[in-house]
Amino acid sequence: MKAMYSIQELQELLVEQLQQEATQIGQTHPVNLYQPIEYTLHMGGKRLRPVMLLMACDLFGGDVNKALQAALAVEVFHNFTLLHDDIMDKAEIRRNQPAVHKKYNENVAILSGDAMSIMAYQYLLKTAHPAIQQVAQLFSRTAMEVCEGQQYDMDFESQSNVSIDNYLEMIRLKTAVLIAGAMKMGALLGEAPKADAERLYRFGINLGLAFQLQDDLLDVFADQAKFGKKIGGDILSNKKTFLLLKALELASPTQRAELEHWINKTDFAPEEKVAAVKKIYGELNLQEISSQKSDDYYQAALGELQAIELENDRKQPLILLAKTIMKREH
């Protein structure tokens, strides 16, 4: 089997192609539709999902250049979801820059996002590979599941009886399936055995769950300058995260009464609410409990990767990337 690319080489390959595409998109008319897309794609970010697709392809000796259009499809689709998520969440900052709906306006962000969702399929269909129909079906299913996850997330805002299992299923759909789908798409394009493609999918699901649980933690406990968005946003919006649901489960009657006071209060100083809820989280040891839950999924992910019958040297880049994701501060 041929020598593998390093993570950095794949990132450079992807980013170079993405920047070329973004610049070209920004010069397309009508500019008011396409320039916000260029702005979004030039915003940066770690490009985890498309790089993982390329890594999965490379793992099995596939041609990463032939998988590049599929990787672009994943990244464009992911960024489309961020455009619309920021509108729905009323998030003003994305990667330390104004969100698209703040820089332009909501209507522009909606329409540019719509265009990006279509553009993702245009990139995908440029992929010349015998498995393209299987890859396209997986991509379509994944895209629909991401929308389902977002709907559950919005439904939970007005529901008082959300369980931790409900929440974990929501983040599986909203976050984990796109990581898993990207991994399996790459495996299919690398002509992996069916069982190994499924293992990589489960690796992605578990890593995605670990990643989102850690993201929930960072929203409360991270350094804002490193995190790239305002700290405490989930607390201010009463988002039903693992932290909040576990707090309600473990709280004493006094702590629960205070949590419900802040959840129901409509007129408050943001800093005061964040501090009060964080204090309860601290009393309940939720930072450690949530970190342990995240680590359980992370270890399950590594178990799936270890079960793939390839020499360990070939798996090291994916293991390294998984470690990097879990050690991030932002």
Rounded-to-integer distance, Cα 158 and Cα 139, Å = 30
Contact predicate 234/273, CB 8 Å = no
Rounded-to-integer distance, Cα 239 and Cα 226, Å = 22
**How many residues in the chain?**
330
- Each residue's pLDDT expressed in tens, for the chain with a length of 330 residues: 778 999 999 999 999 999 999 999 999 999 999 999 999 999 988 899 999 999 999 999 999 999 999 999 999 999 999 999 999 988 899 988 999 999 999 999 999 999 999 999 999 999 999 999 999 999 999 999 999 999 999 999 889 899 999 999 999 999 999 999 999 999 999 999 999 999 999 999 999 999 999 999 999 998 766 655 677 989 998 999 999 999 999 999 999 999 999 999 999 999 999 999 999 999 999 999 999 999 999 999 999 999 999 999 999 999 999 998 888 654
Rounded-to-integer distance, Cα 315 and Cα 90, Å = 40
Rounded-to-integer distance, Cα 146 and Cα 127, Å = 22
How is the chain split into domains, by residue range?
7-326
Amino acid at 23: T
What are the structure tokens assigned to 323, written together? Answer: 């470690």
Largest CA distance in the chain: 63
Q: Which numeric CATH code is attached to 7-326?
A: 1.10.600.10
Amino acid 45: pLDDT:
86
Phi, psi (5° rounding) for residue 265? -70, 130
Contact predicate 280/259, CB 8 Å = yes
Q: Is 60 exposed, middle or buried (0-12, 13-18, 19+ CB in 10 A)?
A: buried
